[in-house]
Amino acid sequence: MLKLDSVHTYYGHIHALKGVSLTVNEGEIVTLIGSNGAGKTTTLNTISGVLSARAGAVYLQDTTRKAGEQHGNGRDGDIRLDQLPAHEVARLGVSQSPEGRKIFARLSVQENLAMGAFARTDADGVRLDLERVFELFPRLKERLSQPGGTLSGGEQQMLAIGRALMSRPRILLLDEPSMGLAPILVQQIFQIIREINAQGITILLVEQNAQAALQVADRGYVLETGNIVLSGAAGDLLANPQVAEAYLGI
């Protein structure tokens, strides 16, 4: 569904991603692990169009065309996301729950969720998706009129994920969903990630809690200073001594 092909991204003169290549297949949970500053958030922001790749390409499978039809800005069967602005990437079904949640603090929970569906015109579908969000996060329904900035950290994380789901994504980019949460809430968030995936949403997960991420993922990539240094099945990475020493505290 998603492919990064030798992507290079810069912050000014700082070379943040140095030829990152990875794939995410439909229905998978793929995790990207690494230390602070490795380029994990930069990778997600490049996919979503918040940052522009200076070289390489980001491809999204195009399901709107018949096999063999050509798209103006991509390979056969693919759309070049790196040539599109962020709002067009979002319209194509790529939704991001950002690091630090970045909810709208002065808006109510209901208004935050409505912002996630801002580009949609199918009112009936929006209502259905809102109910699905409430099934995943019953706490949000209890706090509909409460300003987002007054929620607890765990509730704000639920709101950030719920807002991303309101765009009805094909692929969900989750950036550090467990950051700053109590252990019991971390378990809850990862269980919800499994449930979201079971509903048919493909997930690319960035997470510093490498052990929890690899336990929930199908496959994983290890990123160091802008380079992919390891990849494989999540179970294989969990058993890898190099990963265990560097990221699992073993």
Mind listing the domains of the chain with CATH numbers? 2-93+169-247 (3.40.50.300), 103-168 (no CATH)
pLDDT of residue 69: 46
Neighbours of 143 (CB within 10 A): 19
pLDDT of residue 65: 53
Is pLDDT of 121 > 70? yes
Compute CA distances 36 → 21, 29, 248, whole Å: 19, 21, 14
Q: What are the tokens at 193? A: 């990630």
Rg of the chain in Å (alpha carbons): 18
Residue located via tokens 């999540």: 234
Is pLDDT of 70 > 50? no
Is pLDDT of 74 > 60? no
**Banded pLDDT at 118 (limits 50, 70, 90):** very high
In percent, the amount of the chain with pLDDT more than 70 equals 94
Segments of 49-198 assigned E as strands: 53-61, 78-80, 94-97, 171-175
Q: Among 13-27, 59-73, 135-149, 194-208, where is mean pLDDT lowest? A: 59-73
pLDDT of residue 165: 97
**Banded pLDDT at 201 (limits 50, 70, 90):** very high
**Banded pLDDT at 66 (limits 50, 70, 90):** very low
Q: What is the largest CA-CA distance in the chain?
A: 51
Residues in the chain: 250
Q: What are the tokens at 243? A: 């990963």
- Separation of alpha carbons 230 and 114, rounded Å: 39
Is pLDDT of 54 > 80? yes
pLDDT of residue 71: 45
